[in-house]
Amino acid sequence: MNFPFNLYLASLVGAFLASLVSLPWWRGWCLRSGHVDDPGHRKIHSDPIPLAGGLAVMTGVLVPLLAGAIVVGVAHLGQGLPGWTEADLDRLTYGFEARRSQLAGILVGLLGMMVLGWWDDRHELRPGPKFAGQFLIAAVVAASGVRLTLFIPSLAASYALTILWIVGVTNALNFLDNMNGLCSGIGAIAAGFFAVAAARHGQYLVASIALIGCGAFLGFLPWNYPKASAFLGDAGSHVAGFLLAILAILPSFHTPEHPRPLAVLSPLLVLIVPLLDQASVVVLRLRRGVAPWVGDTNHFSHRLVRAGCSRAQAVAILWAAGLLGGLGALLL
Give me the tens of pLDDT residue by residue for the chain, a chain 332 residues long: 445 677 889 899 999 999 999 999 999 999 999 999 877 555 565 578 999 999 999 999 999 988 877 777 766 555 555 555 666 666 666 667 667 788 899 999 999 999 999 999 998 899 999 999 999 999 999 999 898 877 777 899 999 999 999 999 999 999 999 999 999 999 999 999 999 988 888 888 899 999 999 999 999 999 999 899 999 999 999 999 999 999 999 876 655 555 566 667 889 999 999 999 999 999 999 999 999 999 899 999 999 999 999 999 999 999 999 999 999 998 87
Euclidean distance between the first and the last CA atom of the chain, given in angstroms as a whole number: 30
Q: Which among 184, 209, 183, 181 is positioned nearest to 194, based on CA atoms?
A: 209
Do the Cβ atoms of 220 and 23 come closer than 8 Å? yes
Per-residue pLDDT, 1: 40
Cis peptide, bond prior to residue 226, ω within 30 of zero: yes
Do the Cβ atoms of 223 and 23 come closer than 8 Å? yes
Rounded to an integer, what is the distance from CA 327 to the centroid of its chain?
Answer: 18
Question: Rounded to 5 degrees, what are φ and ψ at 154?
Answer: -145, 125
pLDDT tens per residue, range 50-66: 999 999 999 999 999 88
Per-residue pLDDT, 88: 61
In sequence order, which residues have a C-beta less than 8 Å from that of residue 107 and are 6 or more positions away? 65
pTM for this entry: 0.91
In sequence order, which residues have a C-beta less than 8 Å from that of residue 53 and are 6 or more positions away? 23, 184, 220, 223, 224, 230, 231, 232, 233, 235, 236
In sequence order, which residues have a C-beta less than 8 Å from that of residue 149 and are 6 or more positions away? 158, 161
Rounded CA-CA distance 270/110 in Å is 21
Which residues face 37 on adjacent strands? 49
Do the Cβ atoms of 141 and 246 come closer than 8 Å? yes
Rounded to an integer, what is the distance from CA 208 to the centroid of its chain?
Answer: 14
Rounded CA-CA distance 92/77 in Å is 14
- Which helix (H) or strand (E) segment holds residue 283: the answer is helix 272-287
Rounded CA-CA distance 63/84 in Å is 20
Which residues face 81 on adjacent strands? 84
Rounded to an integer, what is the distance from CA 300 to the centroid of its chain?
Answer: 20
In sequence order, which residues have a C-beta less than 8 Å from that of residue 67 and are 6 or more positions away? 10, 14
Residue type, 127: P
Which residues face 49 on adjacent strands? 37
The CA-based dihedral angle spanning residues 192, 194, 197, 203, taken in that order and rounded to the nearest 10 degrees: -100
Which residues face 36 on adjacent strands? 50
Sign of CA dihedral 136, 142, 146, 148: positive
Q: How many CB atoms lie within 10 A of CB 44?
A: 8
Distance set, CA 291 to CA 43, 62, 283, 295 (Å): 20, 36, 10, 9
Q: For the purposes of burial, counting CB atoms within 10 Å of the CB of 282, is it exposed (0-12), middle (13-18) or buried (19 or more)?
A: middle
